[in-house]
């Protein structure tokens, strides 16, 4: 069964996307930008993304413990270490497969980072 999880964005029905989608034991969190933290530095923006993703994962019945993959899209290569350190605050013990890519620009030019999360719920659920 499919569960679409809204993040409350007015653009979700226009563009046709969900903040997250759960199918069976798999949860996919869409590319998440630091909405509301545009004036923060790269680390602050990353922490905001984790807060948004945590809410979506929770609604899907998952947590960061279930995350198996992340994809990070940076607009400034020099931010890699600050972003990586925040990622490590959440995942130093979990250690999902992770990709970090530098891109020219994200949807909002003030965003320095956007992250996707994939999770697989434990078999004990």
For the chain, the distance separating the N- and C-terminal CA atoms, rounded to the nearest angstrom, is 15
Residue percentage of the chain with pLDDT more than 70: 98
- pLDDT, position 10: 86
Instruction: Please classify residue 114 by burial: count the beta carbons closer than 10 Å to its beta carbon, then call 0-12 exposed, 13-18 middle and 19+ buried.
Output: buried
pLDDT at 121 over 60: yes
pLDDT bucket at 38, cuts 50 / 70 / 90: very high
pLDDT at 124: 46
Q: Please, which pLDDT band fits residue 123 given cuts at 50, 70 and 90? A: low
The answer, yes or no, to whether residue 23 has pLDDT greater than 70, is: yes
- Mean pLDDT confidence for 4-15: 92
pTM: 0.94
CA distances from 6 to 1, 3, 20, 22, 94 (A): 16, 10, 7, 11, 26
Domains along the sequence of the chain with CATH:
2-120 (3.30.1330.40)
Kindly report, residue by residue over 81-114, the tens digit of the pLDDT: 999 999 999 999 999 999 999 999 999 999 999 9
């Amino acid at each position: 069964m499919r569960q679409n999880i809204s993040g409350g964005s007015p653009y979700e029905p226009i563009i046709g996307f969900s903040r997250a989608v759960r199918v069976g034991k798999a949860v996919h969190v869409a590319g998440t930008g630091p909405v509301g933290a545009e004036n923060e530095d790269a680390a602050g923006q990353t922490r905001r993304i984790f807060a948004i993703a945590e809410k979506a994962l929770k609604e899907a019945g998952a947590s960061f413990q279930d995350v198996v993959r992340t994809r990070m899209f940076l607009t400034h290569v020099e931010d890699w270490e600050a972003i990586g350190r925040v990622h490590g605050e959440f995942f130093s013990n979990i250690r999902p497969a992770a990709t970090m890519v530098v891109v020219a620009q994200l949807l909002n030019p003030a965003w320095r980072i956007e992250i996707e999360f994939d999770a697989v719920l434990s078999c004990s659920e």
